[in-house]
Amino acid sequence: MKLNERSLAFYATCDSPADNAGFLYKRGERHTAYHRRWFVLKGNMLFYFEERDSREPVGVIVLEGCNVELCDSTEGFAFAIRFGGTKSRTYVLAAESQAAMESWVKSLSRASFDYMRLVVRELEKQLQEMSRGLAGGCGGSREPPGPWKPKPSGLEQSRERLPALPAILPKENGCAVWNNALGADRPPDTSGCGGHPEEGSPRPPPSTFCRLHEQYSREVARLRQDWQQRRRGPRP
């Protein structure tokens, strides 16, 4: 990619979002005095301007092959951008507060493509490990996918092991008699009166409702008969 001063100036001042921006004190290369400059970080390029509203940057630092570290300086909250090589320049900058210095050191340390390359490699490694883990967890089923079929219920799987339902015997005294399926030696219960049950359908558990019904029905029939006799009057 070919760059010139005009393209760099346009990129530095365009509306694209900046990774960090703010005032820093920059130490001169020949003179050790510090000058207050407006810095803008975009990608791996650190632009600096004389003023915040300047239309063109004074310079640019390409953040590749460098280390960002704290340094001792007469100016407080100072840090340095060091490049490898004996003739490479070291840029000494100073922030206005501890929080600003930590923010700039973190942003500049992550701005290079070398750092991004390491991050991408680490993410690819984690993705491969997750893919292998998912493949190992799904290794138990090797059948190809097919149309969904409902699993047979427990009733269908073990129908032959279910106990036989109690048989319905003819009624005795208006109540159905149930054969005890748990033991033939037990006397049958007279319970659950009413209509004729369907063949093969189970009855509710035994109760004394039928006998109570017969007792009260006889009492009601007797009272009704007495009332009818009283209504007719005494016989001549």
Query: What are the tens digits of pLDDT across the range 155-188?
Result: 444 444 444 444 444 444 444 444 443 444 444 4
Inside any domain, residue 108: yes
Q: Which CATH number characterizes residue 109's domain?
A: 2.30.29.30
Number of structural domains (the chain) is 1
Q: Which of 24, 46, 56, 53 minimizes the C-alpha distance to 37?
A: 24
User: Is residue 74 scored above 50 in pLDDT?
Assistant: yes
pTM: 0.53
What pLDDT was estimated at residue 174?
41
Backbone angles phi, psi at 36, to 5 degrees: -80, 125
What pLDDT was estimated at residue 213?
63
What pLDDT was estimated at residue 171?
43
Inside any domain, residue 88: yes
Inside any domain, residue 232: no
Inside any domain, residue 62: yes
3-state secondary structure of 143: coil
- The residue-averaged pLDDT of 47-57 equals 94
Inside any domain, residue 60: yes
- The residue-averaged pLDDT of 40-69 equals 94
Inside any domain, residue 35: yes
Q: Looking at 6-10, 73-77, 123-127, 209-213, which range is the least confident one?
A: 209-213
Inside any domain, residue 15: yes
Beta bridge partner(s), residue 178: 168, 189
Contact partners, residue 91, CB within 8 Å, separation at least 6: 26, 27, 61, 80, 81
Based on its alpha-carbon atoms, the radius of gyration of the chain, rounded to whole angstroms, reads 48
Please give the residue that has the higher pLDDT: either 231 or 189.
231
Which token pair is 21?
Answer: 């921006």
Inside any domain, residue 11: yes
pLDDT (tens digit per residue) in 15-43: 899 999 999 999 988 878 899 999 999 99
3-state secondary structure of 190: strand
What is the rounded average pLDDT for all residues in the chain? 75
User: Is residue 60 scored above 60 in pLDDT?
Assistant: yes
What pLDDT was estimated at residue 103?
95
Residue 57 domain boundaries: 5-114
